Amino acid sequence: MPFKNEKIWIIGASSGIGQSLAKLLASEGANIILSARSEDKLIALKNELGERHDVIPFDISDFAQTKTAIKTAKQSHEKIDRIICLAGIYEPSAIRDMRDENIEKIISVNLTGIMHFAKNAYEMVCNQNNAQIALCASVAGYVGLPNAQPYAASKAGLINFIQSLKMEAKDNIDIKMINPGFVKTPLTDKNSFNMPFIIEPEEAAQHIAKGLKSRSFDINFPKKLTLTLRLISILPNILKIPICTKFK
């Protein structure tokens, strides 16, 4: 039980991958701090997992709520071993279908909200003997694809941010980047197209748990999809753009 007695904070724990990961790590003996916007769902999950776990609801796109959550976590827990941020929202759209409110909402959660959270979380744990911060982007950020605005752009920016954070981090802070492919969740249920290599959230949780204990920086899965997109991303534009256009 590699996570036994660890204090692990999961943001985005109310559903999907975050919920599955919370259940998995709790079964491994970890003490989980559950966070997301929906307090009711978090309390229901805590009741399922047991009383030793904690709930800190907040909206990551709200800077004031984020700072309050960080302060609460710091005051309530002497040490947090791992912080895993899986918060994110998704709305598939082509450029002609993008709505102003969706652009602002997606960027405020998937990019600026996570950047702001990561800054404050880093400051909270930077003086510990050791700590881990894992931030979730997406393979959608590897390469530009049609009908993926502005979600993919937010994830591309987040990948860049996490890479920079890894380069700047102190030796006692282990930074991880999580890049899932298609995972069957309420978010991907919005897609009307065939999603290659789609997996269940329980399998995604297994991949993440294994990656958290590894020496790898980039926890990406499933490998068939991530390898394909990585290969496409390094092609010259004269080849890459015609290939990606076929995904319309």
The string of pLDDT tens digits covering residues 195-226 is 889 999 999 999 999 999 999 999 999 999 99
Of 29-43, 50-64, 87-101, which gets the smallest average pLDDT?
A: 87-101
pTM of the predicted model as reported, rounded to 2 decimal places:
0.95
Is residue 118's pLDDT more than 90?
yes
What value does the mean pLDDT of the chain take? 95
Residue 151 scores a pLDDT above 80: yes
Is residue 72 predicted with pLDDT exceeding 80? yes
* For range 168-177, the mean pLDDT: 97
pLDDT at position 148, please? 86
Q: What is the mean pLDDT of residues 187-197?
A: 82
Nearest by Cα to 138 from 183, 200, 196, 202: 183
Across 22-26, 96-100, 235-239, least confident range: 96-100
DSSP track, 201-246:
HHHHHHHHHHHHTSS-SEEEE-HHHHHHHHHHHTS-HHHHHHHHHT
More confident residue, 167 or 146: 167
Residue 92 has pLDDT above 80, yes or no: no
Q: What is the pLDDT of residue 60?
A: 98
Lowest mean pLDDT among 59-68, 90-99, 168-177, 218-227: 90-99
Cα distance between residue 32 and residue 239, in whole Å: 46
Asked if the peptide bond before residue 2 counts as cis, ω within 30 degrees of 0, the response is no
- In this model, does residue 238 exceed pLDDT 90? yes
What's the rounded Cα separation, in Å, for the pair 178 and 82?
14
The pLDDT of 5-26, averaged and rounded, is 97
- Interior angle at CA 113, CA 111 and CA 115, nearest 5: 65
pLDDT score at 130: 95
Give the model's pLDDT for residue 193: 76
Looking at residue 232, its pLDDT comes to 95
pLDDT at 189: 80
Return the closest-CA partner of residue 140 out of 186, 191, 206: 191
d(CA 229, CA 144) in angstroms, rounded, equals 10
